[in-house]
Chain A
């Protein structure tokens, strides 16, 4: 089973479970059915966004510059551009 198939199967499981709960086919306490179930997708979306922002912020907080690697990388980029231009590829600057 490929990774994509695995993720798709997981997504399908959650979607079907949620749809069953949403359509009222499962007997649930009234409070939960009317107020919590419709809000769950939005809660997941907002939490996912918050998680991504957290991950980004943490990365920015713990990021370390490496000037040597930067110089090396810029040199390699320049070299690659000149090589490609020699071979006739149109490289924008």
Chain B
């Protein structure tokens, strides 16, 4: 029987909407705003364009740090397990 949890569907829909909003906002920010006059009211919706570069770079560095730390934790844990097993085998 096929079942689709209501909470799961909500999470999926939220991801969908977030992805679309991020894409639209960023596209307008980086590709459209240069052609908009500086005194147009639309400019008030967007921060200075330097941040269009800074935010992705910061997120990339943060993401790399998270992935790297996760990898190192897993490797250290597996090495420790291997060392403990080798010690147990030798002590036998």
Contacts and interface: CB of A to CB of B under 8 A. Distances in A.
A57 B16 contact: yes
Interface string B1-15: 111110011011111
Chain B residues touching A, range: 20 to 34
Contact of A60 (B15, B20, B35): B15
Contacts, number: 88
B19 interface: yes
Grouping DSSP codes into helix (H, G, I), strand (E, B) and loop, the B interface class, with mixed when no group exceeds half, is helix
Nearest to B81: A92
B4 A42 contact: no
Nearest to A59: B12
Contacts of B22: 46, 49-50, 53
Contacts of A60: 8-9, 11-12, 15
A54 B20 contact: yes
A35 B52 CA distance: 11
